[in-house]
Structure 1
């Protein structure tokens, strides 16, 4: 069976982490805090700017940080993110049927 792309990325992150003896710092609570901080750094790139003014290299690196922490948290809890994302899309398709949600920014509870 061929490895999933996300699993390959997780293995590369773990290789990087373990070579530096950082596993001791990578409990899920601290990874979740780091994820939140990195997500805030993504937001900060857009603060007081138009979307097209954001530095694409900085955005690329901040998004990579966010993804890295997501992958590590998922790994800690044996969550297959590819499957989880597909499940979440299916859930959202039921919550946001096209006939009610198309072109509408309301939350599903407000339809």
Structure 2
């Protein structure tokens, strides 16, 4: 999670450029999705060995940039909608624990409505 000081730097960066006018929740969500797709593209068509090689090579920074872009837009969206990301994740973990009891799903990849 992004700490408060970095979050404030991101908000100030956007404000100094007068970009808030373009950052409606809809548009930030769209941008978040686009950046997530760019992150996926980094892995597309690559074998595990190629990904491992890229992670230890010069291309690693490109992956980190894509991850950072996702984090930035998610931070903007949470800020703009007044969502406490840590609290939302905590709540979701409780829901996931109920959906996926460890004694029933350990070692399985089924969706919650597919296991018996």
TM-score (norm 2): 0.86
Match of 1:89 in 2: 93
Q: After the TM superposition, list the runs of 4 or more consecutive aligned residues in structure 1 that deviate by more than 2 angstroms.
A: 4-10
What is the distance in 2 between the residues matched to 1:88 and 1:9?
24
Q: Return the offset for 1:42.
A: 0.3
- Structure 1: which 5+ residue stretches go unaligned? none
Tell me: higher relative CO, structure 1 or 2? Use CA pairs within 8 A at least 6 residues apart: 2
Q: Return the offset for 1:6.
A: 3.4
Q: How many residues align?
A: 108
Question: Is 1:38 aligned with 2:35?
Answer: yes
What is the distance in 1 between the residues matched to 2:9 and 2:113?
41
TM-score (norm 1): 0.90
- Structure 2: which 5+ residue stretches go unaligned? none
Tell me the alpha carbon deviations over residues 30-80 of structure 1, each in whole angstroms, 9 at most, x when there is no partner. Answer: 101100100000010001112314432111110110011111111111110
